Structure 1
Amino acid sequence: MKRISYILLAATLLGVSCKKDFLQRSPQTSVTKDIFFNTPADLETYTNGLYGQLRANWNDLYSDNISVNTGGSEVDNLIRGGLSPATVGGWNNWGNLRSINYLLDNVGKTTGDQAAINHYIGVARFFRANFYYNMVKRYGDVPWYSHVMGTNDELLYKAKDPRTVVVDSVMADLEYAVANIKNTYPANASPRNTYLTQWAALTLLARVALHEGTYRKYHTELNLQASAQTFLQRAVSASQAIIDNGGFDISGSSAADYRALFSSNNIAANKEVIFLQKNSKDLGVANNTHVVLDWQWALSSSLADEFLTKDGTPYTSVAGYDKKTFTEMFNNRDPRLAETIMPPGFTTAPANSAYITRPSFGGYLQVKFYPRDPALRGGWELNYTDLPIFRYAEVLLINAEAKAELGTLTQGDINATVNKIRNRVGMPALNMVAANAAPDAYLGAMYPLVTGSNKGVILEIRRERRVELACEGFRFDDLYRWKAGPLLGQASSGMYIPALGGYDVTGDGVEDIAILQSKNDEGPIAGLPENVKAKIVKYYIADGEFYLSNTTSGRIVFAKDKVQPRNFVDPKYYYFPIPVEQTVLNKNLTQPSGW
């Protein structure tokens, strides 16, 4: 029996998987708990229901990697001044914690192989750590609950616990998970790496430790800099354990191999994949990744410009880089650029015509995670590509960044981490001495808090992280932990338009789109052949969706940023407010600093 077969049973036992639930609800399993939690097999069934709490990410919404998002977002509302305790959502996911603590409260009655019992306790504590660190990232201080709360429990109305206390508890949970989760799988596991292992626990531990270490280092307002080193050291040791003993590797030797990690349905055997979300038409498990292409968002010029040239030099050091047209900007670039942003000539199926980009979104459409095989695209929530949750490239980047922040990084470390990643797509190696001798000024302006003798290599590791992990959900958290939130306050932009008129965006030399002032002024395309004008897709600045930064030329920029300018309030916006109704229910809850 595969884990998918357990979902209905697990949902019934959890009592929270299919509807809203809150911390104070009395357990819905009061009848079944007396006959459940008796054996490790019971624990396996129960913990199968927890896996839905950790899913793959396949976009970078709410970050500076996005040019525009027509669907709206909480972060967009935040940086435009529209978010308040009266309008914010959240604070309603405590049912996930309750389902975890319910197992931990009842596991004392389980009998059988103690190592197996400890394994499932480790799985539960892994998910509790993941739950709580997400809460810490959002709110800072939060109340820590290690048991299910009854309706009349006074602790329901406790004050928040300090960040330091909660994070120490998170780390304790992860250390237990690392020590007790086994690297064996249920006999019916298919595929095996859809189940948690010690390597997955070490990956989350390394991720949390890096986040907390850098957050404490750069957020000096917390006065926690003295403890940052401890977390960075644990990020190093956890990631190093995976590197030394996990048997993982960067897979492939081409851009196509990089693409396959995100757009195929057979990554379970890939040596880079530590933990994955398996999707299968036969099992009726799917995702919605086809919407990454031209649905509600596109990617930003800020992201596009950070990809290096093919010879390893910064694209932003190329004369006139910011005036390259859509078809020019892909020339001689890091191959990962065309695997992230839709290049000229891209088709959704071999026999199809080239897909025409949409300038009203900025022009840089996302193709990373788009299911390339039409057989894997079945419509809304009917895509059957596998999705990585933890992959080895992240572990390597954690290792390099933590060592660089500690000042212990060597060229050998760079070769074993960043350069292994670059080598897959044929990019030149990063030289630590050269990077530190002449730090990239463009990146330095983005991250002014980076200083010291390792400034250059830290900046390059940040570039590599942004490029390699683009659209995998890391960018927003990275900006917050580096205290680079002001980048969210900058207006986004898209492709460069030299002048009003028609443009080729498919690479065949024929104009596909036209950028015009209005429907009444089509003079800029008057000289085009009639057959071209008949097919060309016209976009009018007067429609008010976008405009050009230099009026009749320049980068595509968006009207919303003119009407509702962005502004990142530091340090207030590094946290989200708690909904006002929650502070009314619990008078001991206080808002994060600044709210």
Structure 2
Amino acid sequence: MKIKYILPIACMLTLGVISCDVERLPETQITDPTFWRSENDIRMAANYMYTFLPNLPVTTDVWSDDAFGIGPHPISDGTRLPPSTDGSYNTPYNLIRAANNILQKGPRVLEFGVLEENLNWYLAEARFFRAWAYFGLVQRYGNVPLILETLTENDEKLFAPADPRESIVETIYSDLDFAIQNLRTPAQLGETGYGRVSNTTAMAFKSRVALFEGTFAKYHQKGDANKHLTMAVNAAKACIESGQHDLFPSYFELFQYEGEGRSNRENILVRQYGISLSDAVLIHNAQRTLETGAANPTKALVDSYLMVDGLPIDKSPLYQTPTKILDDFENRDPRLSATLFKQGDPYIGTMPIFNVPNLSFQRTGYANRRYANPTDWQNSRSFIDYSIIRYAEVLLNFAEATYELNGSISDQELDETINRLRTRAGISHLSNAFASQNGLDMKEEIRRERRVELALEGFRYWDLIRWKTAEIELPKPVLGNFYFEEEFGTAVTPDVNEDNFIVVQRAQNRSFDPTRDYLWPLPINELGLNPSLQQNPNW
């Protein structure tokens, strides 16, 4: 399903629908008796929901300790204030309304000869997207209003208090279970259906939700952690055992044109962009955004990459203190070279070969290589797709949920998950004996693998939130590369610490309040519109 087929119908359905105050909308023209009469009608209504898929998260990691932009970010340094409005709150409710509208009115097509099985495909898509929207709200705000029908302008439910997090999560699970049962497999969707959500998309997403809720419950001591962790294990296992997905051979090419399309079985949910300059509908400019410093990798992220012998830099005999910038990549996990620019890499039109990071923009002294393509840079537009859910995450979800549930993980389970990723990367495997012999903490090694494999894809902040380690990691100073003056030059003289590492933000300018910052503040305007809503604690 190409985006170009989504946009015209999106425009049609958007008329009279999109507004900041999404919950107080009158009935729209989509309810006209001339609609909901064919499978094409409900498919077009479902297509609109795909326009809500997230765009490339090129700057999201500046919320965490993995990246730093041109300047400090109020989420990561603890200085943000409650906003008057927030698309992170309003936009999901736009999607929820669209999904509820389909669920409420879509069954009318049965009166016009549409098969119930076909109808259920699109109802399942609606329930998947409703689950998607509610999970985004729960992650950020915790308790929020649970709306499961299309409301009229004066409906009293618009003024109801927020529903408990537990009720919303149970609804998410119910929606995803329906989607798992009724969506088609990737094989059934085939080439023509590539881009639509499949039953394995719902399995993979359920493993994400359940892992988040399970670890959040465990480390914040709220709720039944084992219930959620068991669901995470089972959902990830179902996706694995479906046989529909596998790892793509090249880690670097996952984020290039080579990784696009159904031939890459690692893709589970993808935001599709255009095709070419002559067939452009949606585009992005990720490389130019990153080139100018939107999300520069930090020393904390770089230090987390293992040596090729499978040991951390503080334990491996292969590690030597760098004497020049390029030394950081010597004998390291090759995913580091795939994620950061190094001397000799193809770069941009005005500098075909990368030399050293430009400290005017790449302020940490490390340069982000994601989605880099010299031709796209020259054209100022890129069509490289964004893989929102990929199979590697499912393997990581299974490994982590298994360990968190049982307090252990078998070597066979490691071989089926973590070590498949390490085989692709080209580094030594992890086993219980290896961890014991080298004084490694298995939980931390599983978390390290997740950090490295999913680096700069927008996961790190949420991992810190659910593990309840944000209060430890985010107040630390944000460090960059060692300041090799002879290589970086003196055009920009950075702040450095006593060990001569670049400091982009000092600890005294960073904070994280554990009584407040694990939830986001509700927008002020929403509190005014609905007096029954209560602001999250200490905001």
Structure 2 length normalisation: TM-score?
Answer: 0.90
After the TM superposition, which residues 564-579 of structure 1 pair with which residues of structure 2 at under 5 Å, given as runs?
565-579=509-523
Partner Cα separation in structure 2 for residue 41 and residue 81 of structure 1:
49
Residue 529 of structure 1 aligns with which residue? none
The CA RMSD measured in Å over matched residues stands at 2.6
Where structure 1 has 5 or more consecutive residues not aligned to the other structure, the ranges are 441-455, 504-512, 516-537, 541-545
- After TM superposition, list the pairs within 5 Å mapping 1:74-93 onto structure 2: 74-76=74-76, 79-84=77-82, 90-93=88-91
Is 1:514 aligned to 2:514, yes or no? no
Whether the aligned pair in 2 keeps the contact of 1:273 and 1:388 (CA below 8 Å) is: yes
1:244 equivalent among 241, 245, 260:
241
Return 37-46 or 129-138, whichever deviates more.
Answer: 37-46
Question: What is the match of residue 502 of structure 1?
Answer: 486
Pair 275,17 (structure 1): closer, same or farther in 2 beyond 3 Å: farther
The one-letter amino acid paired with 1:502 is E
Match of 1:313 in 2: 311
Q: Rate the CA distance shift 1:485–1:193 in 2: closer, same or farther, 3 A.
A: same
Residues 365 and 65 of structure 1, relative CA distance in 2, 3 Å threshold = farther
Amino acid aligned to 1:556: I
Partner residue in 1 for 2:338: 339
**Is residue 22 of structure 2 the alignment partner of residue 5 of structure 1?**
no
Deviation of 1:16 (Å) = 6.5
The answer to whether 1:561 aligns with 2:506 is yes
1:73-472 residue pairs with structure 2 within 5 A? 73-76=73-76, 79-84=77-82, 90-93=88-91, 94-111=93-110, 112-183=114-185, 192-220=193-221, 222=222, 224=223, 227-252=224-249, 257-264=250-257, 267-268=260-261, 269-279=263-273, 280-281=275-276, 282-284=278-280, 285-290=282-287, 291-317=289-315, 325-348=324-347, 352-360=352-360, 361-371=363-373, 374-377=374-377, 379-380=379-380, 382-407=381-406, 409-436=409-436, 439-440=439-440, 456-472=441-457
In structure 2, what residue type is equivalent to 1:495? Answer: N
Q: Return closer, same or farther for 1:16/1:430 CA change in 2, 3 Å cut-off.
A: farther
2:476 counterpart residue number: 490
- Kindly indicate whether the alpha-carbon contact (under 8 Å) linking 1:14 and 1:99 is maintained by their aligned counterparts in 2: no
CA contact (8 A) 1:265 1:384 kept: no
Could you list the per-position Cα deviations for residues 212-239 of structure 1 after superposition, in whole angstroms to 9, with x for gaps in the alignment?
111101112x3x1xx1111111111111
Q: Percent identity?
A: 28
How much has 1:329 moved relative to structure 2? 1.2
Q: Tell me the secondary structure at the aligned position of residue 23 of structure 1.
A: helix
Aligned to 1:41: 40
1:341 Cα offset (Å): 1.3
Q: Partner amino acid for 2:141?
A: Y
Q: Does the 8 A contact of 2:2 with 2:195 survive in 1?
A: no
C-alpha contact (below 8 Å) 1:142/1:163 kept by paired residues: yes
Aligned residue in 2 for 1:580: 524
Displacement of 1:278 in angstroms is 2.7
Shift of 1:265: 5.1
Mapped to 2, the partners of 1:403 and 1:480 lie a distance apart of 19
Counterpart contact for 2:435–2:442, Cα < 8 Å: yes
Distance 2:48 2:150 in 1: 17
Indicate the structure (1 or 2) with the bigger Cα radius of gyration: 1
Output the CA distance in 2 between the equivalents of 1:480 and 1:356.
34
Between the aligned partners of 2:436 and 2:226, the Cα distance in structure 1 is 21
What is the letter of the counterpart of residue 163 of structure 2?
A: D
> Are 2:538 and 1:594 aligned?
yes
- The Cα shift of 1:437 comes to 6.0
SS state at 2:23 partner: coil
CA separation of 1:10/1:68 partners in 2, compared to 1, >3 Å: closer, same or farther? closer
Contact 1:141–1:163 (Cα < 8 Å) also in 2: yes
- Cα deviation for residue 18 of structure 1 reads 6.6
CA contact (8 A) 1:239 1:398 kept: yes
* Equivalent residues of 2:348, 2:378 under 8 A apart: no
The answer (yes or no) to whether the contact 1:21–1:95 under 8 Å persists in 2 is no
Contact 1:376 1:385 in 2 (8 A): no
The whole-number CA distance in structure 2 between the counterparts of 1:438 and 1:416 is 22
Q: Which residue number corresponds to residue 525 of structure 1?
A: none
1:294 Cα deviation from its structure 2 partner? 3.5
Residues of 1 paired with 2:101 and 2:87: CA distance?
Answer: 25
Q: How many pairs does the alignment contain?
A: 523
Contact 2:18-2:94 within 8 A present in 1 as well: no
After superposition, the Cα gap between the structure-2 partners of 1:82 and 1:349, relative to the gap in structure 1 and judged at 3 Å, is closer
Q: Which amino acid aligns with 2:286?
A: T
SS at match of 2:388: strand
* 2:51 aligned residue: 52
Residues 55 and 582 of structure 1, relative CA distance in 2, 3 Å threshold: closer
Question: Which residue identity is paired with 2:254?
Answer: L
3-state DSSP class of the match of 2:210? Answer: helix
Counterpart Cα distance in 2 of 1:318 and 1:17: 58
Deviations 1:98-134 (A, max 9, x none): 1221111212312121111111111001000010010
Q: 2:22 maps to which residue?
A: 22
Aligned to 1:69: 69
In the TM superposition, what is the alpha-carbon distance from 1:571 to its structure 2 partner?
3.1
Q: 1:5 Cα deviation (Å)? A: 2.2
TM-score w.r.t. structure 1 length? 0.82
- Structure 2 CA distance for partners of 1:324 and 1:46, relative to 1, 3 Å: farther
Q: Which amino acid aligns with 1:37?
A: W
Residue of structure 2 equivalent to 1:450: none
1:549 aligns with 2:497: yes
Contact 1:357 1:365 in 2 (8 A): yes
Cα pair 1:193 1:276 within 8 Å, conserved: no
**C-alpha distance in 2, partners of 1:549/1:191?**
56
CA contact (8 A) 1:342 1:364 kept: yes
Q: Is the 8 A contact 1:4 1:283 kept in 2?
A: no
Whether the 8 Å CA contact 1:206–1:234 is kept in 2: the answer is yes
Residues 349 and 577 of structure 1: is their aligned pair in 2 closer, same or farther, counting only changes over 3 Å?
Answer: closer
Deviations 1:347-366 (A, max 9, x none): 31699243431235111110
Distance 1:323 1:425, change over 3 A: closer
Structure 2: tracts of 5 or more residues without a match: none
Secondary structure at 2:486's aligned position in 1? strand
1:265 and 1:66 mapped to 2: Cα distance? Answer: 26
Instruction: Check conservation: 1:58, 1:369, Cα contact below 8 A.
Output: no
- The answer as to whether partners of 1:185 and 1:195 remain within 8 angstroms in 2 is no
Secondary structure at the counterpart of residue 341 of structure 2: coil
